[in-house]
Amino acid sequence: MARFIVVHQLGEGAANADFQDLRAARKHLFKLAENPNVQWLNGWFLFETAKQICEYEAQDQETILRALHESGIDTLYPAASIEEVMLSGPNDFPGEFSE
């Protein structure tokens, strides 16, 4: 499975919204969680820009788009972009970050 970052555009007013206001999407998230072809790994709310960035695992972009549509999330928070990514960090470069 590949990893993808999806940027969702939140609705108007979300920039100043309380996190509780965003819980309206939970029934859609539960439906997404039942999809065996997509796994939602993490999400970050960017309140100042009214966006949510989510990390997913799936076979391809089309699988994510289909799962977002089937769950109904795309009607609440449309995907502004989907990019395949590779996770990396200091552990991927042994010895290069030590003194």
For 13-60, how does the pLDDT look when each residue is reduced to its tens digit (9 = 90+)? 665 555 555 666 777 788 888 899 999 999 998 878 888 899 999 999
pLDDT of residue 90: 83
Q: Which two tokens stand for residue 26?
A: 């939970």
Strand partners, 2: 58
Q: What is the pTM of this model?
A: 0.78
pLDDT, residue 64, reads: 95
CA dist list (Å): 4 to 27, 41, 68, 79? 22, 10, 13, 12
Amino acid at 98: S
For the chain, domains (ranges, CATH) are 2-88 (3.30.70.3090)
- Listed residue (92, 87, 22) closest to 56, CA to CA: 87
What confidence tens digit (pLDDT) does each residue in 66-96 have? 999 999 988 888 899 999 999 888 887 877 6
